[in-house]
Amino acid sequence: MQSNLRVARSAMPDCKIWAVVKADAYGHGLMAALRGFAEADGLSLIELDRALELRAQGWHKPIMMMEGMFEAADLAQMQAHQLQPVIHNDEQLAMLAAASHAGPEGTDGIDKAIDVHLKVNTGMNRLGFAPGRVREIYEQLAAMPVVRSIALLTHFANAENPQAPLLPSTQLALFKTCTEGLKAELSLCNSAAVLLQHNMHSDWSRPGVMLYGASPGGGSAASFGLKPAMSLESQLISVQSLQKGDYLGYGSSFQAEQAMRIGTVACGYADGYPRHAPTGTPILVNGKRTRVLGRVSMDMLSVDLTDLPEAGVGSRVVLWGEGLPIDEVAEAAATIGYELMCAITPRVRREVRG
């Protein structure tokens, strides 16, 4: 995590970093992220309870709430703990207006003013105010006693894909047009933009998946100098022999074309390994690459040991991570590394190293 944060820093050396730690730090554990990203300038997430946990654990630097508040009680907590909400709809504006009527100080005399982030919808069409409303919304926020400062942000839909129909350059041009002259810091770059969209001015970047050692696209993680922060490991718990024509596993989806030696790994979809990973998905046994066979079940999956005669019960298995990029496994399973990281279930034992 620390190494990947340094990559993000070197890619945009004049830019402060919001390290994105939503979804339990992409499945890596929030407390591990607290240590790994100690040198970040701020942390960014969605879950209010986890933000409060960060404060309780001693994180005193900024925290951005990426989807803002969902109800007025959330805003009160954000004020009390100096969390910075992203404002992206009129309902949130109304909550801020109501809080402003109550005054910037609470009954305890503590300053309740907060920093906010105004989100601009530049074409991704998930969250944010339409470009034509940005100045109006900015002025409303600036007039609210409860708002200390306003930052501006947008989100790129295709920073990793130069052939996409909506390009970062198009979104950026729209963003500049509708925010020109507004006094605010800018937050523009996700992982893909940090790594691939050079010469883009932004006061803050918001790297996510790259901090965990996976690629956002446009190249392999290793080509960007990223290191996997997570290794999913298990071991062989059984070895079987198949004869030509024998079937394997639920659905009998794999049939041996020759005599084979196969192993059973103690890991399945109840642990977060993708059930839809097909025969041929790469996997490491004793550090050597082989393939998954047949259908992944709840607690187990099968691997080809035909060319690994030394492998036996107890042999170490790496499903992704050290020696096997998560993006390769994700591609074989027709998904993305983000999903695999976030899918690890609570029953998997965590070991935090470093």
pLDDT tens across 259-270, in order? 999 999 999 999
Looking at the fold, whether 36 and 163 belong to one and the same domain comes out as yes
Looking at the fold, whether 209 and 241 belong to one and the same domain comes out as no
Looking at the fold, whether 187 and 307 belong to one and the same domain comes out as no
Cα 72 off chain centre by: 27
The answer to the question of residue 76 being in a domain is yes
Indicate the pLDDT class of residue 273, thresholds 50, 70 and 90: very high
pLDDT tens per residue across span 280-329: 999 999 999 999 999 999 999 999 999 999 999 999 999 999 899 999 99
Residue 107 has pLDDT above 70, yes or no: no
The answer to the question of residue 14 being in a domain is yes
Stated as kind and residue range, the H or E segment containing 237 is strand 232-242
What pLDDT shows up at residue 170? 95
Question: Rounded distance, CA 113 to CA 329, Å?
Answer: 46
Residue pair 69/99 in contact by the 8 Å Cβ criterion: no
The answer to the question of residue 107 being in a domain is yes
Which residue in 22, 112, 212, 269 is the catalytic one? 22
Looking at the fold, whether 207 and 301 belong to one and the same domain comes out as no
Question: Rounded distance, CA 318 to CA 234, Å?
Answer: 7
Residue 246 has pLDDT above 70, yes or no: yes
Residue 105 has pLDDT above 90, yes or no: no
Catalytic residue status for 250: yes
The answer to the question of residue 221 being in a domain is no
**Residue span of the structural domain in which 104 resides:** 2-214
* Cα 270 to Cα 107, 297, 301, 325, distances in angstroms: 49, 8, 11, 21
pLDDT tens per residue across span 190-238: 999 999 998 788 999 999 999 999 999 999 999 999 999 999 999 999 9
The answer to the question of residue 191 being in a domain is yes
Compare 100 and 267 and report the one with higher pLDDT: 267
Looking at the fold, whether 137 and 38 belong to one and the same domain comes out as yes
Residue pair 50/72 in contact by the 8 Å Cβ criterion: no
Give percent of the chain with pLDDT exceeding 70.
98
Question: Rounded distance, CA 258 to CA 76, Å?
Answer: 66
- Write the CATH number for 236: 2.40.37.10
Q: Which of 214, 245, 275 is the last residue of a domain?
A: 214
Q: Which of 214, 247, 273 is the last residue of a domain?
A: 214
The answer to the question of residue 219 being in a domain is no
Which residue in 227, 250, 269, 288 is the catalytic one? 250
Q: What's the pTM?
A: 0.94
Buried b (16+ CB within 10 A) or exposed e, 257-276: eeebbbbbbebbbebbbbee
Looking at the fold, whether 52 and 108 belong to one and the same domain comes out as yes
The answer to the question of residue 350 being in a domain is no
Average pLDDT over residues 150-178: 95
The token pair at 73 is 């009680």
